[in-house]
Amino acid sequence: MNIAFPAFFILVLIIPGFIFQNSYEKLENTSIEKKPFDVSSSLAFFYALILHVFLIAVVVPLSGNEINYDICIKLLTGSKSISASDLGAISGNITKIILYFSSSFLLAYVFGKFFQKIIFYFNPYKSSKYAFDTPWYYELTGKLSETQDAELIKLSCLVESKNTSFLYYGVLEDFYLDSNGQLNRVVLSGAMRRPIESDDSEPTTPPTTRFYEIKGDRLILKYEDIKNINIEYLYIIEEE
């Protein structure tokens, strides 16, 4: 048997673990948790093992099918003792085999999203015991604790442009994290800006009158261009 086939078979078995992990750790376009590759690979192997145990113990018996473990072991080990009857059994059940792996991929994605929702439901804040390990996500969604759950967030971003520094101010509409869980860019609406030099040249002028409105619906700032960020959390309080 070709030595590449056992490696391919093992890869197909592990893929559901990576699908589950990616689904669990990603919210829309934001990676909400990042682990080293060795840890990520180990967890993917563990997730795949749990998923296959679930499929073999629950789903396969309910479907009325059986798994030939002898053939599976021969495929995993690359054994040369695999016979023509074994190949015939594989080709005769190719539809069921494809359906099994397709189901494992789909279930891995669904389970990943399901457990992500469970974690967010019971641990919605940065201060929660089992919160995701991405501080930027909680800081920029305003979910810091039960007493600090902001309804609106405004950002003041200091950006240097050549010899001039500008302060951009607006409502945080969206943000994006890179593959390492670090902030990549922010999106502001109702954005305004002012040169920092105005603070020295017009000390008697209120800060709000020194801002210049920026035409447009959304302003995108790259984090690599931002020197510092001031976050302003706004809360809606109902009065009786």
Q: Where are the alpha helices (DSSP H) in 147-208?
A: 198-201
pLDDT tens for the chain, residues 1 to 240 = 555 677 888 889 999 999 999 888 877 666 777 667 677 888 999 999 999 999 999 888 888 888 888 888 888 877 777 777 777 878 888 888 899 999 999 999 999 999 999 988 898 888 888 888 777 888 888 888 888 888 899 999 999 877 788 999 999 999 988 776 788 899 999 999 988 876 655 555 555 567 888 888 999 999 999 999 999 999 877 766
- Round to whole Å and give the CA distance between 198 and 166: 10
Helix or strand run (H / E) with residue 156: strand 152-161
Question: How many Cα atoms sit within 13 Å of 110 on the Cβ side?
Answer: 7
CB 103 within 8 A of CB 15: no
Count of residues in the chain = 240
- Round to whole Å and give the CA distance between 126 and 146: 10
Domain parsing of the chain, residue ranges: 4-122, 135-234
Q: What pLDDT was estimated at residue 25?
A: 83
- 135-234 fold: SH3 type barrels. (2.30.30)
Note the pTM of the prediction, 2 decimals: 0.70
Q: Which tokens is 17 given?
A: 């673990």
- Round to whole Å and give the CA distance between 194 and 158: 10
Q: Which tokens is 141 given?
A: 């969604």
- Round to whole Å and give the CA distance between 107 and 16: 8
CB 36 within 8 A of CB 21: no
What would the pLDDT profile of 70-124 be if each residue is shown by its tens digit?
888 888 877 777 777 777 878 888 888 899 999 999 999 999 999 999 988 898 8
CB 21 within 8 A of CB 43: yes
